[in-house]
Amino acid sequence: SAVISQKPSRDICQRGTSLTIQCQVDSQVTMMFWYRQQPGQSLTLIATANQGSEATYESGFVIDKFPISRPNLTFSTLTVSNMSPEDSSIYLCSVEEGGGYTFGSGTRLTVV
């Protein structure tokens, strides 16, 4: 199965700043998915990133807050912009493989 490298693994950021999370896959994939896991909650899909096109955002998530890049078939970034303490979460990227999904180990973000 695919191996996903996600970084940073954790960060503590000041409110009002932005953080870019990187996700590298060891094989070419058409779609990459970004999720958020808030404390005590389950994973919520933020957006789907296709190479060469705009990302598709789920209800409640907007491009200005969570801009996504997908420059090639093995890499994607998610930026959390103008952060507030409510953005403190674990952010995970994921790829689909034959029905099941493989996840990165996540980025634990704390906004102070």
Beta carbon of residue 31, minimum distance to other proteins (angstroms, whole number): 5
Parallel/antiparallel/unpaired status of strands 68-72 and 4-7: unpaired
Site for other proteins in 36-75 (CB under 8 A): 41-45, 48, 58
Beta carbon of residue 50, minimum distance to other proteins (angstroms, whole number): 9
Q: Is 33 helix (H, G, I), strand (E, B) or coil?
A: strand
Could you give the C-alpha distances from 46 to 33, 66, 68, 69, 78, in angstroms and in order? 8, 8, 10, 13, 10
- Where on the chain is the footprint of other proteins (CB under 8 A)? 1, 4, 6, 30-31, 33, 41-45, 48, 58, 92, 94, 96, 99-106, 108
